[in-house]
Amino acid sequence: MINPLNKLSKSLGYQFNNEELLEQALTHRSAKSVHNERLEFLGDSILSFVIAERLYKQFPKCKEGDLSRMRSTLVRGETLVELAQSFAISEYLTLGPGELKSGGHRRTSILEDAVEAIIGAIYLDSDMPTIKGIILAWYDERLKNLKPGQQQKDAKTQLQEWLQGRKQELPLYQVTSITGKDHKQTFSVSCCIEHLDKTTHGKGSSRRKAEQSAARAMLNQLTSS
């Protein structure tokens, strides 16, 4: 019988010694007691380090601010979702009945977490040089095309500069709710521009990520209207 995960392993560029780690990385907390949250925590840190080190070496004359913005571009949710889609990760996810019914296999937060969890799983199954090589292979084209500058600014910075350029008041961010256990919280944040009577909302695994999501939604509203 053909193992369906073999195709995914080939896409990832890594064959697991302990395939249970890959299965765990693809398992959402809604499905089983053994799920991918701890692996995601590990993978998030590894990804940030590997990308930061590569940028430090690739751009020796760049200041910290530009390096931070470039790293943010590469590790942000949208980029992780693009990676997940390129590997067709949604086809291999294990979800609980509720998430299945609500289309959880397409939910961006679940796809982002799965990519980070897979990174953590590969690291545990191998070593740092191996996962470093794999991450850099995944990001090869993005790194080649990366340039310091305006396009790397995060959504909050872009929104602030958009408003300042029009001499308008800056947005107010407010945490509207925090759900989940201490080690795995989901933050909900509102972004309000009172004089324009506009409010958007964002969610993320940290306040910073939620604020970026809300700012991105506000930018989309302002620039498309």
Helices (H), 59-184: 64-75, 77-86, 97-101, 108-125, 128-138, 140-145, 155-165
Q: Which of 44, 113, 125, 154 is catalytic?
A: 44
Nearest-angstrom CA–CA distance, 132 and 137: 9
Could you report how far apart the first and last alpha carbons of the chain are, in Å? 54
Nearest-angstrom CA–CA distance, 111 and 96: 15
Q: What are phi and psi of 77, to 5 degrees?
A: -55, -45
β-pairing, 186-193 with 198-204? antiparallel
Q: What are phi and psi of 125, to 5 degrees?
A: -85, -15
Q: Which of 116, 125, 154, 211 is catalytic?
A: 116
Specify whether 197 is catalytic.
no
Please name the residue that has the structure tokens 């931070």. 68
Query: What count of other Cβ atoms lies within 10 Å of the Cβ of residue 173?
Result: 16
Specify whether 44 is catalytic.
yes
Nearest-angstrom CA–CA distance, 191 and 157: 13
Amino acid letter, 82: E
Amino acid letter, 191: C
Residues annotated as catalytic (active site), given as ranges:
44, 116
